[in-house]
Chain A
Amino acid sequence: MKKKILSSLLCATVAATTIIGCGQSAQTTTETQSEAPSEAATAEATAEAENTQAKEPGEKVTLSIYTQYADDDTKVPYDYAVEQLKEAYPNVELNLIVQAQDDGQTLKTLAATGQLPDIYQASTDIINTFRESNQIMVLNDVAKSTGFLDKLYEANKDLAYAEDGNIYAFPFSGQEYVLWYYNKALFEENGLEVPKTYDELKNCIEVFKSKGITPLALFGQEGWNTAAAYDVVATRYTEGGIKALDEGTASITDEAYLTAAKTLEELVAAGLFQDSATTTNYDQASEMFLSGNAAMFINGQWYIEDATAALGENVDWMFYPAADEASYEAGKSVFSGGGSASGFAVNPDSENAELAAEVAEFITEKYCEAKVMYRHNPLVALDTGKEPDSEYPAMMKKLSDTLPSITATTKFTWGLTNSTFNDGIQSESQGLVSGQFTADEFIADMKDVME
């Protein structure tokens, strides 16, 4: 008898635990329901009530947001936006889902299973994919009603629109640039001038290598960095760089791209990058540069803040070297990098889609403010009218002074629209910088990819 009682109790406990487990995800909804006028409402009525709550002031609405939250460049703007949101939308709470660095795999899985967050950070690839499946909201009206379009810098107007002329995401980053950083102190100690031509660069490589210093630390584990390494060379021969290839207005077999590949092949053979460049991640490469073990580094302008904090006045960026001095001077107005339509997008199937769209626009604006004020990065999509909390770093000032003379940019890989080309250029450029694939192989393989 005792055994029967005991087993019955155990069964009941297991069943209760299971039911509790099943009901876990509905906890937030239940809490909201308790504040609804009628507690005995049916499930349908509850859903309707929730929709109404979203519009009624004073009632709490939780919006899920899927965005980057990994380093200061992503944490500071998010935290600032959340603080500002509390004041502007006291009834809205954000439930942060930290974005995984997985090429959109998590987001696509969430979309496939109907669990897309209310607001999510969308890259060009995600925008194009979700557009086809109607899982991304058209934000044209919200952009107008909130004044988003009026706040956009003139140079960034195009960034807001997708290929079909609609707005699917609120971009917060403006035109961004690939910068070729260098350690001024190391150059001075070794009696070297900033290289203007590839011959001068080869001389620098030789000197640094003889001293046991890595000439340029590349984080080639990330395909975008190797693609950028190829692009900074390609832009010395043709303004379009990888952007023209992505858009199909140029061919990889064009003389300029072949010459760029051969130049990079020569530089790799001379020892520009560390031997294990393709297996080096960002942290490792950055550490090499910031600790003085590497003399140069290729990264976006967002690295200015971190580089300045670590190296102070000993760090600067240079214009990309070219084949000769004339090309070097001419190339000063052409940069690798550029803007993209990436930004905050909204799930059209969200119960609070309209509110989510407004909040997405608000967060975008606050991201821009935080980047200007606390990250000293004026290269944002919107004119916020804010000033940085301290002086811009010297490198940012230099970039700001250069901006008016920039006539052409290319694209970062996350701004490329052709996913096949994107995959190809990332892997093939990785092969090229590894020194184990020839320029001819690079061109032939890229030709296959494009065909």
Chain B
Amino acid sequence: MKKYMGNKLAIFLFVLPALAIFIIFDFFPIIQVFAYSFTDWNGLTTPTFLGLKNYIDLFNDRVFYTSNRNQLIFAVIITVYQMFFATVFAITISDKKMKGRKFLRVAYFIPVILSVTVVCQLWSAILSGQGLLNKLFETFGSDYTQNWLGDRYKAIYVIAFVNAWQWMGYQFALIVAGIKSIPADYYEAAKIDGCSNVKAHMKITIPLLAETYKFCLIISLTGGIKAFTEMNILTGGGPNKSTFTLTYMMYNAAFKKSDYGYGLASASIMVIECMLVMLLINFIFREKNQLKEEEKSKKRRLSYGN
């Protein structure tokens, strides 16, 4: 292994295919997005350099702020919902005494394998004006019928719930895999020390799943920032762009107004936001690791001193 790692040519050759794909299909297009965001371009003709005009227009566009607010709401809702329920369900089914755990494990994951379009059509039928949910309220004599998807303020919460419902199973699978990798000895030791189940999970399971949670957090938050499909199918971004996100702004500018420059400016901001979130999450988690290592090294130094 040491000999192999010392062979720079071998490393280069093995890394090259993946690196080439990344550069051609990810890195280069991202650079293009940033470059074209400074231009007036309809997607077909030669772009004309505009300087910062697209960005100035973007920051003066009320829909830009609505989109960012929606992204934040969306990201927070899906993160809290998915991580909370995924953890609870994963811990529940990790108990080997529990009956029906195999069935539940499959059931929680089923929405993930469904097409987003199918899921959205399903929820659209439930949430529409004459949909199942409102009919249920009517049947039980309640006047709590709502315009779930057409409400200017509430629709974004409903859309976020639909996304959270579908993708919770993905995080559930990750957390279940994480729990399985924790040695049973830890729980046995905790039990001998008189630790309750809840306390054992709080003190053992959750801290040891830090890396899994970091990954879950990244996919939830960046997923929230990039949200588009659910809005497109359930509300079409409406009413009056009140469920827009930056991705929707990009789509709308590029394909409805043939203004690719402006659309790519919003895409650039979205890319920057995603990167900032990832950096922030890495920073938060790295800080904790560093603190732990610092504490450990302090202890070591003290024990050597003694």
Contacts and interface: CB of A to CB of B under 8 A. Distances in A.
Interface of A: 102-105, 108, 111-112, 125, 129-130, 132-133, 135, 220-221, 274-280, 284, 419-420, 422-423, 427-428, 430-432, 434, 436-437, 445, 448
B230 to A, nearest CB: 13
Given A108-B44, A108-B258, A277 B241 contact: no
30 contacts: A105-B255, A108-B255, A129-B42, A129-B43, A129-B258, A132-B45, A221-B236, A276-B150, A277-B150, A278-B239, A279-B128, A279-B149, A279-B150, A280-B128, A419-B256, A419-B257, A419-B258, A420-B259, A422-B257, A428-B240, A430-B239, A432-B240, A434-B150, A434-B152, A434-B238, A434-B239, A437-B152, A437-B239, A437-B240, A445-B62
A38 to B, nearest CB: 38
Contact of B241 (A112, A419, A422, A427): A427
Contact of B238 (A130, A132, A423, A430): A430
B151 interface: yes
Contacts of B147: 275-276, 279
B241 A436 contact: no
Contacts of A102: 255
A430 B240 contact: yes
B111 interface: no
A119 B29 CA distance: 31
B44 A427 contact: no
Contacts of A130: 44
A448 to B, nearest CB: 7
Interface string B250-287: 00100111110000000000000000000000000000
Interface string B130-148: 1000000000000000010
A111 B62 CA distance: 32
Contacts of A422: 256-257
B83 to A, nearest CB: 30
Contacts of A434: 150, 152, 238-240
A436 B62 CA distance: 17
A104 B255 contact: yes
A86 to B, nearest CB: 35
Most buried by A among B129, B235, B237, B252: B129
A447 to B, nearest CB: 12
A108 B255 CA distance: 8
Given A129-B258, A278-B150, A437-B239, 20 more contacts: A112-B43, A133-B42, A220-B238, A221-B238, A274-B129, A276-B129, A277-B150, A279-B128, A279-B150, A279-B235, A280-B128, A419-B258, A420-B257, A423-B252, A431-B239, A431-B242, A432-B240, A434-B150, A434-B240, A445-B240
Contacts of B237: 427
B25 to A, nearest CB: 16
B42 A436 contact: no
Contacts of B150: 275-279, 434
A436 B153 CA distance: 9
A192 to B, nearest CB: 24
A278 B238 contact: yes
Interface string B216-242: 000000000000000000111111111
Interface residues on B, range: 20 to 34
Contacts of A111: 44
A134 B81 CA distance: 51
Contact of B44 (A112, A280, A423): A112
Contact of B256 (A103, A432, A436): A103
B123 to A, nearest CB: 12
Interface of B: 42-45, 62, 124, 128-130, 147, 149-152, 234-242, 252, 255-259
B257 A129 contact: no
A273 to B, nearest CB: 11
What are the 5 A-B residue pairs with the smallest beta carbon separation, nearest first?
Answer: A431-B240, A276-B129, A133-B44, A434-B239, A436-B152
Given A423-B252, A423-B256, A434-B150, A276 B128 contact: yes
Contacts of B258: 108, 125, 129, 419
Contacts of B152: 431, 434, 436-437
A420 B42 CA distance: 13
Contacts of B238: 220-221, 278-279, 427, 430-431, 434
A104 B42 CA distance: 13
B156 to A, nearest CB: 13
A430 B258 CA distance: 21
Nearest to B149: A279
Most buried by B among A104, A284, A434: A434
Given A430-B239, A431-B240, A132 B255 contact: no
B43 A280 contact: no
Contacts of B242: 431, 436
Contacts of A280: 128-129
A129 B44 CA distance: 8
Contacts of A105: 255
A132 B42 contact: yes
A276 to B, nearest CB: 3
Contacts of A419: 256-259
A430 B129 CA distance: 16
Contacts of A420: 257, 259
A277 to B, nearest CB: 7
Contacts of A274: 129
A23 to B, nearest CB: 24
Nearest to A133: B44
Contacts of A436: 151-152, 239-240, 242
Contacts of B239: 220, 278, 430-431, 434, 436-437
B33 to A, nearest CB: 15
Contacts of A448: 62
Contacts of A427: 237-238, 240-241
A435 to B, nearest CB: 9
A335 to B, nearest CB: 26
A271 to B, nearest CB: 13
Contacts of B256: 103, 419, 422-423
A198 B43 CA distance: 45
Contacts of B151: 436
A420 B256 CA distance: 9
A431 B237 CA distance: 11
A108 B43 CA distance: 8
Contacts of A431: 152, 238-242
A274 B256 CA distance: 27
A319 B43 CA distance: 42
